Structure 1
Amino acid sequence: MSNIPADLKYIDTHQWVRVEADGTATVGITDFAQDQLGDVVFIEVPEVGATVNGGEEAGVAESVKSASDVFSPVTGEVLEVNEKLEDEPEIVNDDPYGEGWMFKVKLADKGELDGLMDPDAYAEHVASEG
């Protein structure tokens, strides 16, 4: 079973979001997603200042096996991107919920979080795909 932290919300395309103490939202791909991708060799993230929309493409993760779109779970303005991923995309494989985060967003609507999967629902979703 994939690692599914209890403090995150998830979407069915295997991205997670964590709301930080300051109200910003950190986004990344799940352990299941990085495992399915294999060795990640390139990450494309949105530009700082760009607006991302919940459920829409916000970047790309490429591995030696394939490329996958990265979707934003939430809508908002990109405040920060993980610049370490430019030189070390493999961080996503090693620590998808920590150092492998992709971008941070100023939430447009906190209510949007209510429509996302909790860890139990996401675990069921992963089980249905496996």
Structure 2
Amino acid sequence: MSTPLNLDLQAKAELLAYLVVSQLLARALTGEWLSPLHTVESTGLWLLSNSGGADLIDRVRLSSYALELARRVAERTPTAQNRSVAASLITENLRIDFRVPIAREIYQACIDHLVDMGWI
């Protein structure tokens, strides 16, 4: 049975935020951004754990936006590259911790970006 392609704007923004946080965490832990392969794997993990579906074009577009947005966040909020700060963005079950103000800012930046790109 296939998963329906059901990501609305909020779900796309949450996936994008997850990918941005993943990029920031990778950068904080390794000094490097995620490789394209790891970004694809992260996208698949998020979709699987959220029972979401997105077509190939949506997945590629969201994945490609993540690095650009992560670089902007890192530039605007340098503490996001700190190991403890980056680690605080993710809960123990690998979900974004929206109790952390930076996580909410990242999510809002993702919504804004998607709206700017015409994904409304």
TM surpasses 0.5:
no
TM-score between both structures, scaled by the size of structure 1: 0.28
Structure in which a larger fraction of residues adopt strand: 1
RCO greater where, 1 or 2, for CA within 8 Å and sep 6 or more?
Answer: 2
TM-score between both structures, scaled by the size of structure 2: 0.29
